[in-house]
Amino acid sequence: MTTPDVLRLDSVGFVRQSRAILTDIDLTIRAGERWALIGPNGAGKSTILSLCGAEQHPTHGTVHVLGHQLGRVEIRKLRESIGHVNPRHPLRSPLTIREVVLTGATGTTELMDHRKPAPETLARADELIEMLGLRALASAPWTNLSQGERGRTLIARALLSDPQLLLLDEPSTGLDVAARERLLQTVDRLHRTHPELATVLVTHHLEELPETTTHAVLVTGGRILAAGPVDEVLTTALVTECFDYPIEIAHQDGRWSARGVATTAP
């Protein structure tokens, strides 16, 4: 039985203010696959993620998300099936962790006063808060949370609608080493408890990849350099080419690392 496509980008180009941001992007992601999207600053990673999240439309080519082509589907309805974790979540008010998780039901930053959550939604929120180790903090205000606690809260929020696709936009941003490791353990646990969930995680750093990562795509200059099984893509040769700098790649005990190779000046 063929695993269904969750995302498919065909010959995608994206132009902003007469400047080509993406060119000839072809990428297919299937249910249960856990992708890492890697590349240098300005490579086009955030733009690709915005297309995957139905936040922007391509200038050229087609994007299918969960079987629907962008431009031919009601975007707001489609986004309800996509979980998006952004560490730069713009919330400024002191909502509690439980309230922040509940905003995942409406896809809004603030609670919608006129929409009282259904009992099953409240139960699901509490289940996710428990799963992510936040029960003792459920009533704590967002403004008092550490960056790591916020990250786990946003994952719970993204999962509230039981999405088929989860997008993680540099989720380790601002975390110290201990908080990063807790977050990665959370993502690994999530992958194991939700085997059909497809995820795309954007990062600059290979050390921030969960052990359960199955595939990777390297992006440079708005083009895909390589995409496929993680062991075939995250090689010293390909990562060196992607970042235009000699980088040695290692994979040990399920985790990836990268270090620059000393060069001798001419």
Within a domain: 57: no
Within a domain: 126: yes
Within a domain: 108: yes
Distances (CA, A) of 87 to 152, 169, 174, 187: 10, 7, 8, 14
pLDDT of residue 113: 66
Report the domain count for the chain.
Answer: 1
pLDDT of residue 87: 82
Within a domain: 20: no
pLDDT of residue 4: 83
Residue 106 belongs to domain spanning = 88-162
pLDDT of residue 161: 86
Within a domain: 14: no
pLDDT of residue 266: 52
pLDDT of residue 115: 66
pLDDT of residue 19: 94
pLDDT of residue 112: 75
Within a domain: 224: no
pLDDT of residue 110: 84
Within a domain: 104: yes
pTM (2 decimals)?
0.90
Low pLDDT (below 70) residues in the chain: 1-2, 113-115, 263-266
Within a domain: 150: yes
pLDDT of residue 1: 58
